[in-house]
Amino acid sequence: MKKLLVSAMVACCMMVVIASAHAAQAGKSEAKPAKPAMSKFLIISPHTEEECLQTLDNVKAMGPNALSKWDFGCKDGDHTGYMIVMASSSEEALKNVPESVRDKAKAVKVHRFTAAELKSIHEKMKS
């Protein structure tokens, strides 16, 4: 009886180990690829005074909240749209610009320096 009980327990333990290994392997094969790292971009999208109204209409047509994501200098004579966006690349960031003016736009990867980073840069400049 003891031998049967021990054999059954060993068999159960083996099944648990095998099932766990199989589940871990299945989880690895179904894992999604890592998302590309996101960076902050400043989009600068100029347009002419003549293109202004159409550009604003094109931005609005890109989605219900698209217009609210932009800041424009048009009322001050600077016919340029400015937007901060998180994207994986400058090309991806520029997809927020209407096609009609996208060729004039640029996306600049921006970084906010910390005091520690600035100190480190100064120390490297001294040596």
48-58 tens-digit pLDDT: 999 999 999 99
Enter the pTM of the model. Answer: 0.69
Task: Tell me the per-residue pLDDT of 73-87, one tens digit each, with 9 for 90 and over.
Answer: 999 999 999 999 999
Residue given tokens 């219900």 in the structure block: 64
Q: Is 3 left (phi over 0), alpha (psi -120 to 50) or beta?
A: alpha
Q: Tell me the pLDDT band of 127, cut-offs 50, 70 and 90.
A: confident
Q: Rg for the chain (alpha carbons), in Å?
A: 28
Q: List the alpha helices (DSSP H) in the chain.
A: 2-29, 52-60, 90-93, 99-102, 115-126
Average pLDDT, the chain: 86
Residues 6+ apart with CB under 8 A from 23: none
